[in-house]
Amino acid sequence: MLTSAQASALFEKVLKYSTAQETEAMISAVSHALTRFANNTIHQNMAEEEVSLSVRAVVDQRTARASTNKLDEASIRQVCESALALARLEPPDPELLPMPPAQAYRGVDRFDPRTADVTPQERAEVARRIIARATKDHLTAAGVVSQGAYSTSLFNSRGLHAHHEETMSEISVTMMGSSSSGWAKETSPKWQELNPEALAARAAEKALQSREPRELEPGKYTVILEPSAVLDLLGFMMMDFGGLAVAEQRSCFTGRVGRKVFGDNISLRDDVYHPLQSGAPFDGEGIPRQRVILVEHGVVKNLVYARQTAHRLKAEPTGHGFPLPNEFGEMPLNVVMDGGKTSVAEMVRSTARGLLVTRLWYIREVDPYQKILTGMTRDGTFWIEDGQVRHGVKNLRFNQSLIAMLNEVEAMSPAQRTSGEETFDMVVPAMKVREFTFSSATKF
């Protein structure tokens, strides 16, 4: 990992060799280690360190980027020359803005020395405890225990200097029986906030409770979606909050901004400063990230904007752009959804007939404008009857409009930091949803 001073010294060398009209440098460094286990045995221990330098050059309204992972003088000179040569081959972009000047950032403290210093022995001990739970319950465990640290810096020749350091840790557990499986996962900037015993217990209980799952006819059911299932559905809607996506009519919110689209109990915001969030307080161009209310009581209130999109649409940039050049525009990456006060257990007790879903996978978009998604349940799907979980259910395929779903939310749990497999971490609740559509059954 590089400190702010080390990154600044590296940028001085970039400026020494760059002859572009404007120069930008993105400097990232990562140290990451993991312990992987399967079949109740650790089978991989890996550690890597990497530093990369990405230089963007601007000349005559043209811009391009070149990157390297070599930081000697010759390589820095070469990457600067490559960026400029590539820029000269690009057609002029009349909408290309000058690079932004120096910005003021609100600090976020997301670097934890304890997490950065976790040893292989400590990760192995966590894996051992998870495997011990699997052995006790006659299950087979697989998963990952990982941690690391990274820094990201952004500089330009107009005086911008942005730097962020952060640690990260993760435990993912899958427990497998002869006819069932269970899953649990947590991430945090702080290693000590992860609870391997609780994760192992949750995954094991789901695997045990869903043994010998029964078939269920497809149809519309009341469904309780645990936070990971909610997360992986919501992730497919985030690009739609981009100003460029709406302007180009690629968004499901085209023509709907300022209108009520979801139920009264649905409120979303983007908030990098939320205590359960992670990430840098600046975007890919170095613009400070702002808190943005996306949905308020079902009404789509605001979009997010990169600098170029904001200039085109006469709006204010919100600090949600990607590094240039890019054709995607912008999107919220620090999503927080307001939750409720109903626990998952209470949702189950209030359900006469329905399904409890642990997580979803293999999700694909069917209709981008109605936000119809299809995918599968996985690692713990249960039948609820008369307020009790009765038995496991064989996995089901769903075909469901996300817009329609968010108009049928009956109850929500408190929001929590949540990880899945299909999208980035968010702060979201569990949901009880009416009339969720399952289109077909499976044999497993």
In this predicted model, what pLDDT tens digit does every residue of 315-336 receive, in sequence order?
A: 999 999 999 999 889 999 999 9
Q: Binning pLDDT at 50, 70 and 90, where does residue 88 land?
A: very high
* 11-26 pLDDT per residue, tens: 999 999 999 999 999 9
* 360-372 pLDDT per residue, tens: 999 999 999 999 9
pLDDT score for 208: 98
Whole-Å CA distances, 323 to 199, 320, 344 = 36, 10, 40
Cβ neighbours around 369 below 10 Å, total: 16
pLDDT score for 443: 82
pLDDT > 90? residue 216: yes
Given a contact cutoff of 8 angstroms between Cβ atoms, the answer to whether 423 and 227 are in contact is no
CA atoms within 13 A on the CB side of 233: 32
Residues 6+ away with beta carbon under 8 Å from 361: 232, 375, 376, 378, 421, 422
pLDDT > 90? residue 1: no
Given a contact cutoff of 8 angstroms between Cβ atoms, the answer to whether 65 and 89 are in contact is no
The residue behind tokens 């440098």 is 25
- How much is the CA Rg of the chain, to the nearest whole Å? 24
Token readout for 127 is 């894996």
pLDDT score for 142: 98
- Give the residue-averaged pLDDT of 199-213: 98
Given a contact cutoff of 8 angstroms between Cβ atoms, the answer to whether 181 and 204 are in contact is no
Whole-Å CA distances, 273 to 27, 323, 405 = 23, 21, 28
pTM: 0.95
pLDDT score for 249: 96
Instruction: Give me the domains of the chain, ranges plus CATH numbers.
Output: 4-199 (3.30.2290.10), 213-444 (no CATH)
* One-letter amino acid for residue 268 of the chain: L
- Give the residue-averaged pLDDT of 92-109: 96
How far apart are the C-alpha atoms of 388 and 177, rounded to whole Å? Answer: 22
Smallest CA-to-CA distance from 276 within 225, 333, 336 is with 336
Average pLDDT score over the chain = 97
Q: Binning pLDDT at 50, 70 and 90, where does residue 359 land?
A: very high
pLDDT score for 14: 98
pLDDT score for 327: 87
* 240-281 pLDDT per residue, tens: 999 999 999 999 999 999 999 999 999 999 999 999 999 999
